[in-house]
A and B are shown apart, each in its own frame.
Chain A
Amino acid sequence: MEDNGVKLTEKQQKNRRSRSIAIALVLAALVVLFYVVTIVKMGPDVLTRPL
């Protein structure tokens, strides 16, 4: 943003950083969530089904 001429205040920069961390954590949690859901939905017999 600074490059475009908008000067962020210190508070804006601090809050942007905390929001970025929160978004990263949420994305990581979603990756784990969808992984677990996939395993649950496939069930335990996923490796023994006929090809």
Chain B
Amino acid sequence: MSLAERHEMMTGEDATWDGGMGSVGDYIALLKPRVMSLVIFTAFVGMMLAPGQIHPVLAGVGLLCIAIGAGASGALNMWYDADIDRIMSRTQKRPIPAGKITPDEALAFGLTLSLGSVLTLGLVVNWFAGAFLAFTIFFYVVIYTMWLKRSTPQNIVIGGAAGAFPPMIGWAAVTGNVSLESLVLFLIIFMWTPPHFWALALFKSGDYRAAGIPMMPVVAGESSTRTQILAYAVILAPIVVSPYLLGFASPVYGAVSSVLSAVFVALAFNVWRKREGDAARKAAVRLFSYSILYLFLIFALLLGENLLARLV
């Protein structure tokens, strides 16, 4: 006897089912497409910068697997965080809190895609990259989402590693290992993550407070967060310039990345300086918006140089 039949016998009426409501678009939303696009881009840069050869078809499949793996961890994150997503204005419209997809459906979707992407990457490209992708999904879902996010204000500092791994996976897809260069790409995203998210948390701290997430402004206060944002921005600057210092980017990259980093530090300083009212909010929004452009431009520069070198 099926569950539905049993349910009908127990209630004595025709059963309705709250599942099966999700459209294709809702399932795509579960993959966090905007995060995915950044993952594809940084993984692609990692692949292009890596020494060695990979067949373009295999590189394409590798990128697809990394993208699907990232999407799967997004779906698993939404499955686990449905309770707090319901509270925060930024996340209320996600498919699970909006009642379009049930948590069980999201869990099945996320697990299926995780397994599929890891196995395909392992079989088609190499098993080191496959294992690295599996570890990244585990890190994001278990270490960050289940453990750190709700327990420590250092949540996004450590959890940020999950978002920083994709260029290393891209690199590993070509070379089968890690190296100093790929570690630098990792460090750029890793050190960029705290000021990026804390800038967001400064103007969304009400949301995080209501949901009981111990983001830095909620736990340590806004003043301490502003100081830490500035500290991370200052530490990030030399790391961003280091591809030039280590010899795998040109002086042009060195010069442009220095200017971009100086702007980032200046905006972080502005956040540190303006602490009251609308000006403080505007400074945080400006830093948050610029941080996305900053990371994109850094990786675009590295990619552009590499492509140019291949053509010449």
Contacts and interface: CB of A to CB of B under 8 A. Distances in A.
B16 A15 contact: no
Nearest to B4: A4
Given A4-B8, A6-B16, 6 more contacts: A1-B20, A5-B14, A6-B14, A18-B23, A19-B24, A37-B124
Interface of A: 1, 4-9, 11-12, 15-16, 18-19, 22, 33, 36-37, 40-41
Contacts, number: 53
**Shortest beta-carbon contacts, A-B, top 3:** A4-B4, A5-B8, A22-B24
B93 interface: no
A37 B61 contact: yes
Given A40-B55, A40-B58, A12 B17 contact: yes
A12 B5 CA distance: 19
Given A4-B2, A7-B15, A40 B57 contact: yes
B20 A18 contact: no
A5 B21 CA distance: 17
B220 to A, nearest CB: 44
The A contact surface, by secondary structure, is helix
Contact of A7 (B5, B16, B124): B16
Contacts of B27: 19, 22
Nearest to B61: A37
A18 B11 CA distance: 31
B22 interface: yes
Nearest to A12: B20
B22 A5 contact: no
A14 to B, nearest CB: 8
B17 A6 contact: yes
A15 B124 CA distance: 33
Given A18-B23, A18-B24, A19-B23, A5 B124 contact: no
Contacts of A1: 4, 17, 20
Contacts of A22: 24, 27
Given A36-B57, A40-B55, A6 B4 contact: yes
